[in-house]
Structure 1
C-alpha cells in the first residue's frame, strides 16, 4: 500500500543586502513536504529551518553529491500587515486622522519628505497606493481598480527617488528597469525542468507583483517588442501564455509605476508633448496619469532646492544602520504595537514657512492598509453626473497640447481616482468633492493645469525631513 505525499522544490536565495561585496547571492534547494507546500510564493522573504542532506548520485566516480535542505518549518517575513497588527490605539488614531480637513495635504507632505516639491506627483502616488474598487461583473467582465502612473521628465528631477519610496512604503512591490528586462522577464517565461525535463512556467516581475506594485525605471529604454508584452497586463491584468504546448493564464493584478526620459533626453518645449513622449497611444491610454516633470531654470526655485540639499547634508544626523529588510529586530513577543503617529522634525531641517507635522512611516502603512481593507465606496448619483459632464467636456478640448489620449479608459480613470480619494477619507460613498478632486488631478496630468485649485492641495515646495522615515519597511 503506497501513500503519496505532497512535495515542492523551491530555491532559497540569500538576501541581496546580506550578500558579500562583489559576489552574487548564494542559493540552495529546499524540499517542502505535506503542509509546508504552497506556504510561500516566488519573491517572498522567508526563514526556513530544516535538515541539510546529501542526495545519492548515480555517477559515484566523481565523489560529488548534490545537497538540499529538507524543511521542517517555514516562516514568512513579508511586509504584509495582518489583521491583528492593528491595536485599538491604531484604529482610534486612524479614525481621528480621517476626520481632519487636511488629510490629503498632511499625507502628501509626509510621502518622501526629503524630496522638495512634486506635490501633485506625491498625491498621485498616494492615490495609487490606495487604489480604486475592483469589480468582477456577472457576465465575466473584469474592471481593474489599480491605478497606473507614468512620470516622464528631464534627468535629475527625482523620478527614481519617488519610485524608491514606493518600494519602501508598499506592502508588496517589485522593482525592475527597462533595459534590464525583456518581455518574458516582465510577464512569464517557459523553461525546462532540470530534473524531469518537462516544460514549466516561471513568473516574471508583474506576475510576482500580483496584488502589489510593479516599479519600472528607465521605461523609455525598453525595446518596442518587449513593451508590447505588457499591454495585456496593464488593462486585463492577466498574462496569457501559449508556448511549447503550455496554455495558461496567470493573474497580474498590479499597479504599474514607470519613470522615463523624453525622446531627445531633455524635454523640447518647441515640440508637442506627444512628440516628446514618443510612446504609442495604445500604451499611453493604459496609464491613468502621465506627469511631465520639467527642470525649469528659475533662480528662486533653484535657490530653494540648493538650500534644501545643503541643509540636509550639513545638519542631518547620521541615521542608524538599517535592519535586515523583512526581518524582525524584536526577539521578544510578537504582540502588535501601536504605531507612532507623528515623527519629531528638527526645525532647522525644514523650510522657514513650512509646517513641521510629518506622519511616521509605520502610521502611513497602517492607514493605507486599513483604508484598503475596510472601505469600499460606492458611486453616488451626483458624482456620476459630475463625472459624465466633465468627460464630455474633456473629449472636446484641443488635442494638440494634451499628454494623454482621452478615451473611454479616461472615464474609468476618473472613477478610480475619485474612489481612491473617498477611501483616503474612509467614506462609504463617492461624493461630488471626490469627483472634483479626481478631475483636478487628471487635468493637471493632461494639460499641466487644473479646473480649479483643489482646496486640499497646497503646492508648498518647502523642504521636508525624513528622519526615522527612510528605513520604514
Structure 2
C-alpha cells in the first residue's frame, strides 16, 4: 500500500512546491474517477444536478472508489485529511469546466456513503485508534446546540489602490487543522489601510447522538447544519479528531455526510407498490384486514387493534381563520389487568410507526415529557431542552406504566394533548413549542387488577379533565373463559415453536451483526421480502389457518401513503355523526358509573370525526362516507360502554354464518379459500349499485307487509318477512348485506323499526 500524501500548507492554503507534483498525480486520479462521461455517467450527472440545484456537496459511494481505485479508497479511510483535499480539488476543476462562474462562487465538498466495514461504529465503540480516520457513526440525536456563526472569509477594500483583498479563516475543525488569527487585517502589504466590506458566515451545529449513555460531539457546517433535529436516528460519516481544550482534548466527529435513518425515509416506493396499494384499497374489508395484520402475534383485542390503526392513520388537522387549531391526532389509553398484552401493543407501534418516542411513567417527569430549562455549559446561558412530546412532533408518544406518574406530572400534558403545543415561561424564556403528536398510553388499575365491583373511574384513578382528552379508553380484562384460554395458550405456544426460515433445530444464533448493518444503504428496499404483500410464514401468528395477513413492510407503505390524504365529510356522514352523538349523550345519562369508562363530552363529537376520517383514509378515499361513520361510532361505543352495539353484533353474526357457508360450499380446502382477495370494482359504481339494490329490497318489503296483512305499529317476525321477500325476488335473491342496507334506508326514513328479530311498520 502506498504511503499517504504528505502535504504542507501555508496560512493561505497553498501547497508547497516539494509536494505539488505528487498532489497533481493524486488529483488526476480523482479527476478520472469523477469524469465518467464515457461510461455510465453516474458522477458527471450528479455534478450537473449539483450545479443546477446550486448546491456544493457531491455524495460519492465509497464502494465505487474501492472498485476503481483500491489504494485511494484505503487511504481515504486511514489518511482522510490528505486525500479529501485532493478529491475536492478535483471536483473544483470539473465544476470549473462545466460552469466557470459557479465554480468561483462556492467551495465544493465531497460527502461519502456506502459500506465502512469495521469503521461502522457507535459512540461506545469509537476508540482512539480511529483518530484521523473516516468513520461512520450511528445514533440518536438527543439535543442540538444553538446555531453559532463562524467567519470563514472576509473581504477588505483599500481606498488607495481601489482593490479588494480577501482573507480566509480556518480553525481546528477545518481539514487542514492550521488555525489562523481571527483578527481582521488593517493594512495590505504596502501599508495601505483596509476597510472591511463584508463577511461570509457558515452555520455549524453540535449534537451528541447515541442511544447508549456514551455520546460523541458532532460538528456540522454549511449544508449539513440543521440537517436533523432531536429524536432523529442518524448516520454520520465524518473525520474523527481531537480538538484542544483548556484541561484536556475533546474528541469530536467532523461531519462529512449526515443521513437520516427514520423508518418513513427508508421506505422505497416503486410504481408496482403504488399499483398494489391502490388495488388493495378496493378490498371489501380493507379496514378489518389492516387491523387484523397489526400485531398478529397477539390473540384477540380486535377493537383495540382497530383503534391503533386509526391512531397510525390519524385524522385531519384544521387551522381556523381565528387561529384555533382542531387537532387531528388520536389519543388512546389502554388500561387493564397485567398480562393482557398492553405493552406488546405499544412495542408493535414503536416498531411500525415512522416517528415514535417511547417512555415510561416512572422514568418520566412533567418537564421530561414537555420541555425543561437548562444551563448551557458552552455559553453559560439558559436554554430549552426538548422533552419526549416535543421530540415526537408529527409522530407518536408511547407511555407505558402511565399510572405510575404523579398527578402533578400528568397535568403538564393537558395542553399538549388538546392544543398540540407547549407554552414555556421560565427563567426569562417565553416560548411555544410544537408537540403535535398522538399519545398511546398503557396503565394498570389503581388496585393492581381491575375490580369489577368498583366503577371504571375508581379503577382508573385519573381526573376527568385528563380522561376526556383521550379519544378512546379501552378496559382490557383478563377474563376466565375455557375456550378463550385454550386459544390463547395455542397462540403463545406458536410463538415458542416458531423458527425463522433456514434456521435448523437447536441452532445457535450468531452474536455478531450482519453485513447489512454495516452499510449506509437501505438494504430492505432491495430485498425480496419487502415486495411481499401478504405474510408468507404465519406459524407465529394468532390468526386462523385460512386467514391472511399483510406483511409489516407493506403496512408501513400503505399507512405512509394513506396518511397524506385529507378526506372531507359527506352530508350523510355528517347527519349520522350528529344523530349518534346525541344518542351517546342520552345513553351516557341513562347509564350508571359502573357501565361507562369515560365521560361523553363535546370532545367525543370530534372523536367521531377523527375516527371516521382515519377509517376513510384506510380506503384511500377522498370522501368520508356513511359506512366510515358507522364503523367509527361502533368503535367509540365499544370504548365508552365496554360492549359492542346491537347493530355490530348482528352484522358479525351474519358475517360469520356467511363465511362458514362459503367454506362448506367451496370445493377447495380452507387453506385455499382466499377470502382476502375479494376486491371491489369501482367505488362509485358499487355505491350506486348498493343504493339501487336497497331501493329494490325496500319496494319488495312494503309489498310483503301488504300481502301478509300486517298493519302499522304491529310487530312481525323478521325471518318470515325476509323469506317472503326472497320469494318475490325469485331469480335475484338478496344477500344479508343487501337486506341490511335496505333496513338502514327504511329506518333512516322512519318507515320501519327493528328490535332483535322483530320488525314493525311505523
Report whether the alignment pairs 1:344 with 2:536: yes
Q: Report SS of the residue matched to 2:218.
A: strand
TM-score norm. by structure 1 comes to 0.88
Match 2:557 to one of 348, 366, 391: 366
Instruction: Compute the displacement of 1:117 (Å).
Output: 0.6
Higher RCO (C-alpha under 8 Å, 6+ residues apart): 1
Match 2:252 to one of 68, 77, 94: 68
CA contact (8 A) 2:299 2:542 kept: no
Q: Report SS of the residue matched to 1:355.
A: coil
Q: Report SS of the residue matched to 2:621.
A: coil
CA contact (8 A) 2:296 2:543 kept: no
Give the aligned partner of residue 389 of structure 1: 579
Task: Describe the shift of the 1:250–1:378 C-alpha distance in structure 2 as closer, same or farther (beyond 3 A).
Answer: same
Q: Output one character per residue of 1:93-149: Cα deviation in whole Å (capped at 9) or x when no partner.
A: 111111111212221221111111110000100111000111111111100001000
Q: Take 1:232 and 1:203, find their aligned partners in 2: how far apart are those partners?
A: 16
Task: Describe the shift of the 1:217–1:303 C-alpha distance in structure 2 as closer, same or farther (beyond 3 A).
Answer: same
Give the aligned partner of residue 80 of structure 1: 264
CA contact (8 A) 2:296 2:542 kept: no
CA contact (8 A) 1:323 1:329 kept: no
Give the aligned partner of residue 469 of structure 1: none
RMSD between superposed Cα atoms in Å:
2.6
Greater mean deviation of Cα atoms: 296-305 or 201-210: 296-305
User: How does 1:39-50 map onto structure 2 within 5 Å?
Assistant: 39-50=227-238
Q: Take 1:351 and 1:216, find their aligned partners in 2: how far apart are those partners?
A: 25
Give the aligned partner of residue 440 of structure 2: 257
Task: Describe the shift of the 1:132–1:252 C-alpha distance in structure 2 as closer, same or farther (beyond 3 A).
Answer: same
Greater mean deviation of Cα atoms: 308-317 or 142-151: 308-317
Q: Which has the higher helix share?
A: 2
Q: Take 2:656 and 2:400, find their aligned partners in 1: how far apart are those partners?
A: 26
Report whether the alignment pairs 1:230 with 2:425: no
CA contact (8 A) 2:331 2:471 kept: yes
Q: Output one character per residue of 1:382-428: Cα deviation in whole Å (capped at 9) or x when no partner.
A: 11111111111111222522111111101000000001000001111
Report whether the alignment pairs 1:11 with 2:208: yes
Q: Take 1:137 and 1:327, find their aligned partners in 2: how far apart are those partners?
A: 48
User: How does 1:86-235 map onto structure 2 within 5 Å?
Assistant: 86-235=269-418
Instruction: Compute the displacement of 1:54 (Å).
Output: 2.7
Task: Describe the shift of the 1:246–1:350 C-alpha distance in structure 2 as closer, same or farther (beyond 3 A).
Answer: closer
CA contact (8 A) 1:175 1:215 kept: yes
Gaps of 5+ in 2: 1-195, 504-508, 658-762
CA contact (8 A) 1:133 1:144 kept: yes
Q: Output one character per residue of 1:344-379: Cα deviation in whole Å (capped at 9) or x when no partner.
A: 135x65679542312111100000011112x21101
Gaps of 5+ in 1: 17-24, 461-473
Q: Report SS of the residue matched to 2:290.
A: helix
Q: Report SS of the residue matched to 1:150.
A: strand
Task: Describe the shift of the 1:280–1:74 C-alpha distance in structure 2 as closer, same or farther (beyond 3 A).
Answer: same
Match 2:460 to one of 277, 290, 299: 277
Q: Take 1:331 and 1:381, find their aligned partners in 2: how far apart are those partners?
A: 45
Q: Output one character per residue of 1:125-182: Cα deviation in whole Å (capped at 9) or x when no partner.
A: 0111000111111111100001000000000000000000000000000100000000
Q: Take 1:332 and 1:402, find their aligned partners in 2: how far apart are those partners?
A: 49
CA contact (8 A) 1:174 1:205 kept: yes
Task: Describe the shift of the 1:301–1:34 C-alpha distance in structure 2 as closer, same or farther (beyond 3 A).
Answer: same
Report whether the alignment pairs 1:413 with 2:607: yes
Report whether the alignment pairs 1:30 with 2:224: no
CA contact (8 A) 1:157 1:294 kept: yes
Give the aligned partner of residue 748 of structure 2: none
TM-score norm. by structure 2 comes to 0.55
Q: Take 1:323 and 1:105, find their aligned partners in 2: how far apart are those partners?
A: 36
Q: Output one character per residue of 1:185-217: Cα deviation in whole Å (capped at 9) or x when no partner.
A: 000011111111001111000000001110000
Task: Describe the shift of the 1:334–1:151 C-alpha distance in structure 2 as closer, same or farther (beyond 3 A).
Answer: closer
CA contact (8 A) 1:45 1:326 kept: no
Instruction: Compute the displacement of 1:381 (Å).
Output: 1.2
Q: Take 1:125 and 1:260, find their aligned partners in 2: how far apart are those partners?
A: 16
Instruction: Compute the displacement of 1:329 (Å).
Output: 7.6
Instruction: Compute the displacement of 1:66 (Å).
Output: 2.2
CA contact (8 A) 2:297 2:541 kept: no
Task: Describe the shift of the 1:108–1:354 C-alpha distance in structure 2 as closer, same or farther (beyond 3 A).
Answer: farther
Q: Output one character per residue of 1:260-291: Cα deviation in whole Å (capped at 9) or x when no partner.
A: 01111111111111111111000000000000
Query: Aligned pair count?
Result: 444
Q: Take 1:367 and 1:409, find their aligned partners in 2: how far apart are those partners?
A: 29
